[in-house]
Every structure is written in C-alpha cells, then in structure tokens.
Amino acid sequence: MQADVTGRLGSLEAIDNFEVDGLELGRRITYDVKANWKLIIENFMECYHCATIHPELTEVLPEFADGYAAQYFVGHGAAFGEEVSGFTVDGSAGFDTLSGVDSDQDRKYYAITVRPQVFVNLVPDHVILHRMFPLAADRTVVECDWLYSKDVVASGRDVSHSVELFHRVNQQDFDACERCQPAMSSRAYADGGVLVPSEHHIGEFHQWVQNVLSPDKDGE
Ligand SMILES: [Fe+2]
C-alpha cells in the first residue's frame, strides 16, 4: 500500500493530507461488471479512451482530453479547467476543501492504483474509493464509495452532483471493459498483450501479476 502511494504521489504526506480515515460515507454504488478485474485496472491506468467516452470528466479535467493520464508521472495531479468550480458532473461548486489539503493539491485530481484491487481517487472536497471483488474470470463486482467530511454528511447536503460525475465515469469505463473482454480472452493476451513505452506503469502491473502467479519465473 505505502509503495503504491509513494510511487504515485511521491510521499505519504500527500495522501495523509486528505485524512481519509476520518471521512464518512456519502454514497455507495455497486457495479456488476462482466469483465476480468485486471482489465478494469488497465482501463483505470490509461487514458487513451478518455476523450471519446468521458465527456463530463474531460470537461472538468481538460488534459484528459489529450489522452494524458494522471498516473504517468510521480506526483502529478490533473488540474481542473479554468472555468470549473468543483469536481462535479457540471463543473459547479462542490464542498469546502478538506482541511488538510494543501494549496498544491487544491483544484487537482489524483488517482492511485493500490494493488491488487483498490483505486483511490483524491479531489479537494471528497475521496472516491473503488474496491473490486473478482467473482469469475469474466466477472467482477466493483463497490464504489464516495467519502466526504463529517460535516458534509451530517448536514445532509446534496452530494448528487459530485457522485454523478464519477458514477458516469464508472458506467462508461465498465461498459468499455465489457466490450473489450471477449477479444481479450484470446490466447494472444495470455501475457498481457503489447504495450508502448508510455504504458510503462501498466507494464509494471503485468510484471507484478506474473511474479505473484509464478514467482520462480521472475525475469523470464
Ligand atoms: Fe476511463
């Protein structure tokens, strides 16, 4: 867990600022996805698809429209567009920035893949946590939690504008994974298929999976 966070954010302090353990559940949505869990991870780590299937997300994070994924470089967060007020489905204002979040992290989105099957998404006023439960080679249940400050949850404020943004992203991503699953069942993908240099972080994930499955084959 710690290596996954520091490898992505550069330091543990960067995630400690969000004080995730003090946040409370604002909304939980469960998705039953007809795709392998590793395919969902690959999708989460790359952004070639963002321009074509995530219209709401690319409005909020313009650099994603160029296929630029926030997980390429250590410490990089995707900046909100100039006209965007908050991480919401229509760019409208969200809630107060979490108290520990520093100015460098404000108005940015950070994504972390915690192996084997957790995603952490950090934005200034909430945290989105995905947990995957593989049920079959081609089926994964994904539980997604939207976490807010105690004050926001206790006040009963409407969280639907921020939930709706990533709920749409989830639906768009999982639909894409389900469409890829039949072809990726091919033997040609037995070792993860072909990657290009900018997918080095996905290559590391492939290597990690292969090492876990066959530790004696390291380096082959
Ligand atoms: Fe996506």
| pLDDT tens for each residue of 81-109 | 999 999 999 999 999 999 999 999 999 99
Which amino acid, one-letter code, is at 118? V
Q: Please, which residues have CB less than 5 A from ligand 1, an ion?
A: 173
Which amino acid, one-letter code, is at 121? N
Q: Encode 121-131: b = buried (16+ Cβ within 10 Å), e = exposed.
A: bbbbbbbbbbe
CA–centroid distance, residue 173 to ligand 1 (Å): 5
CA–centroid distance, residue 101 to ligand 1 (Å): 25
Tell me the per-residue pLDDT of 163-208, one tens digit each, with 9 for 90 and over. 999 999 999 999 999 999 999 888 888 777 888 887 888 898 999 9
Q: Which positions ≥6 away from 206 have C-beta within 8 Å?
A: 191, 192, 195
The pTM of the whole model exceeds 0.85 = yes
CA–centroid distance, residue 219 to ligand 1 (Å): 31
CA–centroid distance, residue 209 to ligand 1 (Å): 21
Q: How far is CA 69 from the centre of its chain?
A: 10
pLDDT higher than 90, residue 24: yes
The structural domains of the chain, ordered by start, are: 2-215 (3.90.380.10)
DSSP state of 80: P
